[in-house]
Structure 1
Amino acid sequence: MDNDDTVVRLRLDLSYDGTDFSGWAAQPGRRTVQGELEAALARVLRLPEASLTCAGRTDAGVHARGQVAQADVPRPVWEAEGERLLRRLAGVLPKDVRVRAVRPAPPGFDARFSPLYRRYVYRVSDAPYGVDPLLRRYVLWHRRPLDEARMNAAAALLTGEHDFAAFCKRREGATTIRELLRLEWERVDGALLEGTVQADAFCHNMVRALVGALLAVGDGSRDVSWPGEVLGAGVRDSSVHVVGPQGLSLEEVRYPADAELAGRATATRRVRELPCRGRTG
C-alpha cells in the first residue's frame, strides 16, 4: 500500500462506550463498533464501502479510550474531504462512539501489527453498598473487601513472557504466548481500584481471566501463589472466573517511532499471527 500513490492510509484514534455494542467486529444482525464506524466513514466519504482494521478487537461490553484503527481510502477522496472529515463523522456517528483524530498514517504503519503494546485498565469497587450509579456501566462491584497488596504480590508472579494458555480461550493455529509487561493494582479513590494490564498483545479473555484470578486473591479466597500455579499448569483452568466486561477499557495503544513501524510489523507477523478479527479482553 505504501507504494500506491492512489491510496492513502488513514489512522483513526477512537473512543467508545462498549455497553450497547456486541464488541468491535462487524457481525450480521448485531450492533458493533466496526459496523457503525465503517457505515459512517463510507457515508461521509461517499464510498460504496469502507473497511477498518483495529489495533485490538474488544469483546461485547468492553470500552475503549485509546483504540486505533486504519482505513485505506482513495487519495482524491481524502484530499477533498480531509479537513472536514472529523467534524462530519461527529455529525453522523452515534454518541457512544467518537473518532477523536484522523490523519494520514506514516509509511509502514499497521494498526494491527505495528504496536509495541496495548494497555488496558480494569476498574472495580469493593464498597459495601455497591457501585456509584453514575459509574455502574464502567465499574465492576466486588462484594468482598479487597487487599491490593495481596493482588500485587500475586500479579508479580505473572509478569514476563509466558504461555498464558491457562488464562486464554484457545484458537486453532494461534499461540497463547504473550509478554505481560505490567500488571498492577492501585486503590485510587476509597473503594475504587484500578488494575493496569499491559502486554505486547492479548489473547481471548486473557485480561478478564487475569483480573478474576487476582480478585480471588484480593478477597482471601485464594493464596497469593495460586495464580502463578495456574499459569504454570499451562491449561485452561475452570476455577478461574472470567469477570464481566463492564470494568474493562482499552486505554492506550503505543507505537514505535515512524522509522521503526514497518520493522515492528514485520517482526510481529514473524512471531505470530494475531487476529485483530479475533478477540481481546
Structure 2
Amino acid sequence: MPAIRSNNSSISLIKYMLFSLASIGLVLFAHQLYAADLNPYAQNYKKQSAGDLHSLQTVPDTKMFVGNHKNEDNITMLEDGYDLMGTSGFSGREVSSGLALQHAKSLKADIVMVYQKYESAQTASSKLQLIKEAAKKGAEIDPNDLEEGPTQYQYHASYWAKLPMPLFGVHVIKLKQESASEAAPKELPGLKVIAVIKASPANNTGLLRADTLLKLGDVTLNTADDLFAAVKRYAGQKVAVELQREDAVMTQMVQLNARK
C-alpha cells in the first residue's frame, strides 16, 4: 500500500508540473499577442507581395537600416535582389525603431528599412507667427494655442526578402501618357525598366534603368504578364531583346538562366 501511495504522489506531481508548464506556455503566448497588439509597426502593416514572400533562410538574421530617401532606397533594394514584402506607416510620438525590427523578425524578413520624419510641434517661431497674425487682425489669442504640444513624427518601415537569382532580372512598370485631348491616358509601347538586378542576365547584357523593353524573342511586351510569359518560354536560352534607350532602338542578346 505505501508503494501505491508513492506512485500516486509521483503521478500527481508530474500532472502538476505539466499543468504548470502549459500555463507558462499560455502566458508567454498571450504576452506575445499582447506585445504585437502594442507594436504600431505590426498594427499598421500592409502586405505588398501577392504570395507568401519571406526569407529563404529558415531562421533569417534580420538586419535593420535607417533610410533617408524611400524611393531611392527602394530601387537600391530591388537592384540588390530583394523584393518588397510590405510596409508600415503611421504618425505618433517617439517610438523605438526596435519595434520595427521585432515585427520584421516575426515576418521572417531579411532586411527592414526604417524612416522617421519630424512632423509637428509648437515651436517658438510658430508661436511668434501666431501672435503677429492675431495682432494684425486685432484678435485675441487663445492661451491653449500657445501651449507646448507633443512632438509628432511620421514613421515608415519597408520589409524585404532576398530572392533567388532570377531568370532575366528586371523590374518594370507600364507607362501612360496624359493627353489634354483624350479622356483616358494613352498607354506607351513597351515596359519601362525601373531596376536591373545585379549579376542577373539582364545586368550582364548591359540593360539599364530607364530602358524600355519592346520585345523578348518573338513576344511583344505590352504588359508585365507578357514579360513573365516570354521569360518562362525562353528560360535557359539565348534570346534577342529589343529595347529603346532614349531615342535609339536597339537589339541585344541575353542568355537567360534556366529554371531549377
User: What's the TM-score, normalizing by structure 2?
Assistant: 0.28
- Kindly indicate whether structure 1 or structure 2 has the higher relative contact order, using CA contacts under 8 Å at least 6 residues apart: 1
User: What's the TM-score, normalizing by structure 1?
Assistant: 0.27
